[in-house]
Amino acid sequence: MEDVVIARSLFGTTMGFHIIFATLGVGIPLMILIAELMYQKTKNREYAIMAKRWTKAKAVLLGVAIPTGTIAGVQLSLLWPGFMEVIGKVMALPFQIEIYAFFIEALFISIYVYAADRISPWMRILSVTLVTIGAAASAVLITNVHAFEGTPAGFRIENGQIVDVDPWAAFFNPSFVVTAAHVAVSAFMTGAFVIASVAAYKMLRNKHDERVYKFHRKALIMGLVVGGIFSFMTAINGHESAQLLHQYQPEKLAAAEGLFETQSHAPLAVGGFTDRETKEVKWGIEVPWALSFLADDRFDTVVVGLDDFPEEYWPPLFVHTLFNAMVGIGSLLIMLSLFGFFWSKILKKTTYPKWLMWLFVAAGPLSMLAIEFGWIFACTGRQPWVIYRIMLTEDAVTGNQNLAALFIAFAGIYVLLGVAVVLVLRYYFKRHPIEDELNDIPPSSNGVQA
């Protein structure tokens, strides 16, 4: 078990670090595309400046996403040989197709970065569109392996041998569509809120420079609108995800809600923590019948409790806290984007209260935290299985005894990479302040080219 814990900690740390860059690598291209479309429609050069600056940030983040993603792939083979034996024979398609998705993303981001000023408007839009599609496809394809772990399909294990392999059935496993949609919309949400956070912070720092303030206000409103739309879509998709858990991984849903007794009209526990001894959620608020409705759109739906499963197959009960944190942050972000839109578009306010601005600043980190909570919940809630009801995690782990040293080494590498990213981004944007680019636009034109 010690080997399992260290291996999971090492791989979890790698994925927890990589997912920051992978998520922004999917979300920011959509914001670049929207800014580019706005520029082509309005000819307001401020949108072109947004697209250009966000593209530089995307390029830096991609430079870290690639090596950390490579490390994650290597660690899968080294840490989980039993798991990768199954994946190699059954679920290799996503890895193979992802190569082409990454190729499209890398090719067209290069074109956009180095030749945006020398290509036609339609080619600029096409380039950013393909970057967005390639980045999203890469995330969806790789995450499909995780979907397969929870709802395996396309093979059987008979007498220790893998038989009846159907790669396409494995690829289109029962949770593929819902998981793919969740990955995409949550990444788009996070990218938008990170842009909004940076814009809000810059507004606080430049409130006496009207031109810079207005520039960042445009970016803030764009981020809030896009983030609000996709946070709402993430919530709808989360409802579908809960119904999949009810159907395919009932103990995971029970652990997420701290439900021990199988029952109809099951309550939804909001907040609190799950107590294994008393078998209840302490300090939580119960919403009557809501869990049954969440599970199958009916209040009389019978939701299976943890007591119906052997205790050794229970997921860690702290997943209830992770699930609540993820949902709570998502709900806050929806309300924040709605309030921001109402304040600026309905009330026609051009400035925001300081407390609201700091909430906008917090929105980006909170959205990324929700991504991390969701990923940990998804993986930890499947335990003790690496492939649900087929292979235990402890049966898939390597027998190598030097994992602790590797864990320390990789943790150090990630700290250095994280610091390097921050320093590079700060250096670039300090060397290329927004004031210089705005000064190239005649003030009387309000950003619109003649």
pLDDT one-digit tens code per residue, 409-419: 999 999 999 99
Nearest to 28 by CA among 167, 194, 157, 199: 194
One-letter identity of residue 215: F
What's the pLDDT at 406? Answer: 87
What's the pLDDT at 166? Answer: 94
pLDDT at 445 > cutoff 70: no
What's the pLDDT at 1? Answer: 52
Radius of gyration of the chain (CA): 23
Confidence label for 350 from pLDDT (cuts 50, 70 and 90): confident
pLDDT at 133 > cutoff 90: yes
CA 351/CA 427 separation, integer angstroms: 29
One-letter identity of residue 34: I
Look at residue 325 and tell me if it is in a domain: yes
**Strand bridging mode 285-287 / 268-270:** antiparallel
**Burial code of 257-273, b = ≥16 C-beta within 10 A, e = fewer?**
bbbbeeeebbbbbeebe
- Say what the pTM is: 0.93
Look at residue 40 and tell me if it is in a domain: yes
What's the pLDDT at 113? Answer: 85
Neighbour count for residue 161 (Cβ, 10 Å): 7
What's the pLDDT at 215? Answer: 92
Mean pLDDT (whole number) for 368-389: 94
Mean pLDDT (whole number) for 341-347: 85
Mean pLDDT (whole number) for 348-363: 90
Look at residue 185 and tell me if it is in a domain: yes
CA distances in angstroms from 326 to 14, 47, 183, 232, 352, listed in the order given: 20, 32, 14, 13, 27
Mean pLDDT (whole number) for 121-146: 93
Look at residue 375 and tell me if it is in a domain: yes
pLDDT digits (tens, 9 = 90+) for 264-304: 999 999 988 999 989 899 998 999 999 999 999 999 999 99
Q: Is the bond leading into 315 cis (omega within 30 degrees of zero)?
A: no
Neighbour count for residue 97 (Cβ, 10 Å): 16
pLDDT at 356 > cutoff 60: yes
Give the angle 82-178-137 at the CA atoms, nearest 5°: 75
C-beta separation of 232 from 361 below 8 A = no
Task: Give strand ranges (E) for 324-375.
Answer: none
Mean pLDDT (whole number) for 64-93: 90
Structural domain including 225 reads: 1-436
User: Element (H or E) spanning 163, and its range?
Assistant: strand 161-163
Residues whose CB is less than 8 angstroms from the CB of residue 45 and which lie 6 or more positions away in sequence, other chains included? 39, 440, 441, 447, 448, 449
What number of H helices and E strands is found in the chain? Answer: 15, 8
pLDDT digits (tens, 9 = 90+) for 3-47: 788 989 999 999 999 999 999 999 999 999 999 999 999 988 999
User: What end-to-end distance do the CA atoms of the chain give, in Å?
Assistant: 69
Quote the percentage of the chain above a pLDDT of 70: 98
Look at residue 348 and tell me if it is in a domain: yes
Confidence label for 450 from pLDDT (cuts 50, 70 and 90): very low
C-beta separation of 175 from 248 below 8 A = yes
- Residue 76: CA count within 13 A, CB half-sphere: 18
User: Which of the two residues, 439 and 133, has the higher pLDDT score?
Assistant: 133
CA dihedral (19, 24, 26, 27) positive or negative: positive
Mean pLDDT (whole number) for 59-82: 90
Tokens of 282: 């302490």
CA 53/CA 32 separation, integer angstroms: 9
C-beta separation of 332 from 360 below 8 A = no
Quote the percentage of the chain above a pLDDT of 90: 70
Mean pLDDT (whole number) for 382-409: 89
**Residue 269: strand pairing partners:** 286
Mean pLDDT (whole number) for 122-151: 93
CA diameter of the chain: 78
What's the pLDDT at 18? Answer: 93
What's the pLDDT at 159? Answer: 85
CA dihedral (26, 28, 31, 36) positive or negative: negative
Look at residue 442 and tell me if it is in a domain: no
Residues whose CB is less than 8 angstroms from the CB of residue 396 and which lie 6 or more positions away in sequence, other chains included? 80, 81, 82, 83, 386, 387
What's the pLDDT at 447? Answer: 55
CA 228/CA 248 separation, integer angstroms: 30
How many structural domains is the chain composed of? 1
Average pLDDT, the chain: 91
What's the pLDDT at 345? Answer: 82
Look at residue 148 and tell me if it is in a domain: yes
Confidence label for 119 from pLDDT (cuts 50, 70 and 90): confident
Look at residue 448 and tell me if it is in a domain: no
pLDDT digits (tens, 9 = 90+) for 238-258: 999 999 999 999 999 999 999
Confidence label for 446 from pLDDT (cuts 50, 70 and 90): low
